[in-house]
């Protein structure tokens, strides 16, 4: 099950509980007491189960979510934990549990639909497409092998052109921390960027020719990406994620962990131009 379908299942479950709560409230308006203990036996435990399911959802899928979506999850879990304690008053507890779930459902669904989550998904799909095209298409593989021989600049040009096919305009940071177009080597025309693509994404590309270069090249890419300081384009630039691309002949033996600095995730991507083993991701 994907993070999208899992959230849809949770959202539908919250919707069902809210309908049951509304029906229960109408019954109480006719008969003021809950003599059969419906709230305690059914509704409160159901809300508790959903809360636990949301916590599990964060554990399972945080890696796939945008920073605003993760922040929404964290805030809900932290602020609502006390409302989902076992000893909460059944009448007031039911009200606050239903209200908090309804509010979270609306907010989180919006966060998942924002452009950050969409741009992240498209960008990572584009990188997967590069990897699979290298395996499936001999002519494309030869282009990447040639770029690898020629060096970093040619790799980033070829990669940027491919990402643009997916609607992603990739750029890198100049020595002054400003945007530099990967293909033209100058500041990108932002009017053209916004009119032709879905998102603007910071990338840093490094060629790794020997396994013992991995750590130094990874750190070099990270340091160069950190120096980016130009203000983001609200709603258009992928602000919370930066991609550090290591291009090697075969897939690197060790998968690099992402880095988090000031709530910005630096994600390592490994592209093998002549892979002999399956990709790890």
Question: Is the per-residue pLDDT at 267 higher than 90?
Answer: yes
Question: Do residue 139 and residue 259 come from a single domain?
Answer: yes
Q: What CA–CA distance (Å, rounded) separates 73 from 53? A: 12
CA dihedral of 49, 51, 55, 56, whole degrees rounded to 10:
20
Structural domain ending residue among the three candidates 65, 81, 113: 113
Q: What is the pTM (predicted TM-score) of this model? A: 0.67
Q: What CA–CA distance (Å, rounded) separates 135 from 129? A: 10
Residue 137 or residue 68, greater confidence:
137
Per-residue pLDDT of 16-67, as tens digits, reads 999 998 887 777 766 666 666 677 788 888 999 999 999 999 999 887 787 8
User: Which range has the worst mean pLDDT, 50-59, 103-112, 199-208?
Assistant: 103-112
Structural domain ending residue among the three candidates 47, 81, 113: 113
H or E stretch covering 128: helix 115-136
Domain of 124, in residue numbers: 115-272
Question: Do residue 98 and residue 185 come from a single domain?
Answer: no
Question: Do residue 109 and residue 166 come from a single domain?
Answer: no
Per-residue pLDDT of 224-265, as tens digits, reads 999 997 766 656 788 889 999 999 999 998 889 999 988 889
Taking alpha carbons only, the member of 112, 104, 114 closest to residue 13 is 104
Question: Do residue 124 and residue 36 come from a single domain?
Answer: no
Question: Do residue 171 and residue 264 come from a single domain?
Answer: yes
Structural domain ending residue among the three candidates 113, 136, 157: 113
């Amino acid at each position: 099950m994907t993070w999208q379908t899992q959230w849809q299942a949770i959202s539908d479950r919250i919707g069902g509980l809210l309908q049951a709560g509304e029906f229960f409230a109408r019954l109480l308006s006719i008969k003021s007491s809950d003599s059969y203990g419906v709230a305690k036996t059914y509704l409160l435990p159901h809300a508790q189960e959903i809360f636990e399911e949301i916590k599990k959802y964060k554990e399972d899928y945080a890696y796939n979510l945008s920073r605003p979506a993760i922040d929404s999850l964290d805030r809900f879990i932290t602020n609502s934990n006390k409302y989902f304690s076992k000893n909460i008053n059944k009448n007031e507890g039911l009200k606050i549990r239903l209200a908090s779930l309804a509010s979270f459902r609306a907010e989180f669904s919006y966060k998942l639909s924002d452009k950050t989550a969409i741009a992240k998904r498209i960008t990572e799909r584009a990188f997967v497409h590069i990897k699979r095209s290298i395996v499936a298409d001999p002519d494309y593989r030869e282009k990447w092998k040639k770029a690898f021989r020629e060096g970093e600049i040619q790799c980033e040009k070829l990669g940027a052109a491919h990402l643009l096919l997916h609607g992603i305009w990739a750029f890198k940071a100049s020595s002054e921390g400003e945007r530099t177009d990967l293909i033209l080597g100058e500041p990108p025309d932002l009017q053209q960027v916004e009119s032709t693509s879905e998102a603007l994404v910071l990338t840093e590309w490094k060629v790794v020719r020997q396994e013992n270069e991995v750590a130094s090249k990874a750190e070099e890419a990270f340091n160069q990406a950190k120096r980016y300081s130009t203000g983001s384009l609200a709603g258009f630039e992928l602000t919370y994620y930066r991609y550090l691309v290591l291009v090697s002949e075969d897939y690197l033996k060790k998968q690099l962990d992402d880095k988090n600095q000031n709530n910005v995730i630096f994600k390592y991507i490994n592209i093998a131009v002549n892979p002999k083993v399956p990709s790890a991701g």
